Amino acid sequence: MSETPVSKIQLRNVEKRFRSARGDQQIALSRLDLDIKAGEFVCLVGPSGCGKTTLINLMAGFEKPTSGSVLIDGEPVTAPNPDHIMIFQDYGLYPWRTVLGNVLFGLQARGVPAAQAREKALAALEMVGLSQSIDKHPHELSGGMKQRASIARALAVEPSVLFMDEPFAALDAFTRLHLQDELLRIWTETKPTVVFVTHDLDEAIALGQRVVLMAPQPGRIQKILEVKLPHPRERTEQEFATFRKRLFTEFHLVHQQAAAVEYQI
Amino acid sequence: MRSWLENYLVPLLTVAAFVLIWQVAARRYPPEQFPAPSDVVLAIKELSDNGVLWTNIGISLARFAAAYLMAVVAGIPLGLFLGRFTRCHRAIDPLIQVLRPISPIAWFPLAVLWFGIGNAPAVFIIFLASFYPVLLTTISSVRGVPPVYLKVSTNFGAGAFLTFVRVIVPAAFPGIMVGLHIAVGTGWIHLVAGEMLGAQSGLGFMIVDARNFLRTDQVMAGMLLVGLLGLAIYKAMKTFEKAIGRRWGVAA
Ligand SMILES: Nc1ncnc2c1ncn2[C@@H]1O[C@H](COP(=O)(O)OP(=O)(O)O)[C@@H](O)[C@H]1O
Ligand SMILES: [Mg+2]
């Protein structure tokens, strides 16, 4: 491939419907377009049920669009791909494996020779600050450490895209802030494309170069906000507050619309 | 201190109280009808001295081990397969659901017809009693593997074989252990039944034999030993389970 595609991830006219148990169709995502550049950090925010998980699952290949196209590197996404790793809110760590064993899993799946795999796994664990806990089992770790381990497992296979679906939502505020900073540091060092789902507006502004605000019923993009602040961001700065205000105003609109739709029914 | 009290002393006192009440109550009846604990202890000694007891215990344990192992060896692979391949499971499930409620004892006439008198019918009944718990818990453990485990495995590009061996089997393992545990219980209970019905040896036979000679003390001795051995097997299983649990990284 000589020409590099304009977008790392390209969604065109994407629609996703689910058939409910009663048989009627529900439009989870409606005619959605989105372009994400290589190395970009994009946050998807929106109220619960607006289709954030559906959207990220489409990009990661866990779901197929009902219509429209999802391309990564110019190729249609048909299945999950070891070059695009998803990080889940509930970590998805294997309890019977140690931290190191979990990080090794992805490398073993790829058939990386044992010595080399170990080296890569240890480097990834070093990067997330878990070098002291490699022989522990997941149940011995705090929530924050578990998420670090699952990030290390992803980093070890050096993916070009990281999909993260509310990865810090279950953590306490202090751990969450800390992991946000850690994630930014790792992103700056390794520069993967990051698609980060959150329902926390502050988290979105702290992390994203762009914040995609979604609206429900049907799931769609309401507004894309460019956060032109350099990383690392000072959360207490004036400019940060300005972006925050803009996003909250938009979010408020989304809520009003959603409420209006509900009252009509 | 407190745990020692709760774990050993209190249960010991309960047993002591039970034996005492039994001893006092038994005095009101003739020993052929309701033997006292002291009679039972003497009966155990008598059976032990003439060697009958040890031979029968050995035979019972061997039958139990053989049948239980067969149930495990058949039940786990079949359960893994049916748990993984939903279509096959759906096809075979009605058959399982019809066969399962039939008590292993009801199979006895056929078992004797097919296998004759001796070890085989007893082993067959213990096998049936252990097989279903192993099979059904294995199936449900495989089906109960959290979807996120499989998503992770697919995402990292693990093939079907690697996913099965390195994800599904270990994820289902704790559930399968529960099934193995239940199967020890049901298998052991049916051991006595199997041996009472058609065998010429073993603890179950010993109990029937004693009844035919109106040796109620020996009947109770047999019952007591069945209980104690069951407890011992259960405890051994628990220890094994804990050791496995530690290796598996789940809090014991
Ligand atoms: N597998 C599914 N089957 C049926 N409906 C679904 C399924 N997944 C999601 N939905 C529906 O699609 C909508 C969007 O869900 P989701 O993407 O999980 O939203 P979010 O992650 O923003 O909370 C919801 O109304 C949800 O009920
Ligand atoms: Mg979601």
Q: What is the DSSP string of A63-84?
A: S--SEEEEEETTEE--S-BTTE
Q: Identify the CA nearest to A193 among candidates A96, A66, A73, A19.
A: A73
Which of these, B58, B57, B103, B68, lies nearest to B181 by C-alpha position? B68
Q: Is the pLDDT of residue B244 over 80?
A: no
Q: Does B138 touch chain A (CB under 8 A)?
A: no
**pLDDT at residue B196, rounded to an integer:** 86
pTM: predicted TM-score of the whole model, two decimal places: 0.86
What is the structure's pLDDT at A193?
A: 95
Nearest of B54, B78, B206, B81 to residue B131 by alpha carbon? B78
What residues of chain B lie within 8 A of the CB of A60, using their CB?
Answer: 155
Half-sphere exposure of B63 (CA within 13 A, CB side): 32
Distance (angstroms) between ligand 2 centre and the Cα of A197 equals 8
Q: Is the CB of A54 under 6 A from ligand 1?
A: yes
Using CB atoms within 10 A of its CB, is residue B170 exposed (0-12), middle (13-18) or buried (19+)?
middle
B166: nearest CA in chain A?
A: A105
| pLDDT at position A264 | 56
Over residues B126-137, the mean pLDDT reads: 94
Closest ligand, as measured to the CA of A57: 1
**Chain A contacts of B248, Cβ < 8 Å?**
95-96
Minimum CA–CA partner of A155 in chain B: B156
Q: Worst-scoring range by mean pLDDT, A92-96, A174-178, B77-81, B136-140?
A: A174-178
Q: What's the rounded mean pLDDT across residues B16-37?
A: 90
Distance (Å, whole) CA A174 – CA A226: 26
Question: How many helices and strands, by DSSP H and E, does chain A display?
Answer: 7, 10
Taking the Cβ of residue B150 and every Cβ of chain A, the question of whether any pair is shorter than 8 Å is answered with: no
Provide mean pLDDT across the span B46-52.
Answer: 90
Q: Please tell me whether the interface predicted TM-score (ipTM) of this complex is above 0.85.
A: yes
Reading the block at residue B142, the tokens are 């495989």
Contact B80, B141 (CB under 8 A): no
Using CA of residue B201, residue B206, residue B209, residue B213, what is the dihedral sign? positive
What span, in angstroms and rounded, lies between the C-alpha atoms of B154 and B171? 15
CA distance B19 to B85: 53
Instruction: Report pLDDT for A5.
Output: 52
Q: Quick check: bond before A218 cis, omega within 30? A: yes
Q: Which residues surround ligand 2, an ion (CB under 5 A)?
A: A 53
CA nearest ligand 1 atom 9, residue:
A54
d(CA B82, CA A76): 34
CB A52 within 8 A of CB A46: yes
pLDDT of A236: 76
Residues of A in contact with B162 (CB under 8 A): 108-109
The three-point CA angle A141-A142-A147 to 5° equals 90
- B68, B72, B79: which is closest to B125 by C-alpha? B68
> Which pLDDT band, with edges at 50, 70 and 90, does B252 fall under?
very low
| pLDDT tens digit at each of 265 positions of chain A | 445 557 899 999 999 988 887 878 888 888 899 999 999 999 999 888 889 999 999 999 999 999 999 999 989 999 999 999 999 999 999 999 999 999 999 999 999 999 999 999 999 999 899 999 999 999 999 999 999 999 999 999 999 999 999 999 988 888 888 899 889 999 998 899 999 999 888 899 989 999 999 988 888 898 898 888 887 777 777 887 888 888 888 877 777 777 766 655 4
In order of A65, A81, A208, A212, B150, the CA distances from A62 in angstroms are 10, 10, 23, 21, 11
Residues B161-215 pLDDT 10s: 999 999 999 999 989 988 998 999 999 999 988 898 878 899 999 999 999 998 9
If you measure from the C-alpha of residue A70 to the centroid of ligand 1, how many angstroms do you get, rounded to a whole number?
A: 18
Can you give the pLDDT at residue B242?
81
Chain B interface, best mutation among A96, A97, A103, A136, by max B CB count within 10 A = A96
From the number of C-beta atoms within 10 Å of its C-beta (0-12, 13-18, 19+), residue B133 rates as buried
**Mean pLDDT of all residues belonging to chain B:** 90
Ligand 1 atom closest to A16 (CA): 12
* Binary contact (A95, B148; C-beta < 8 A): no
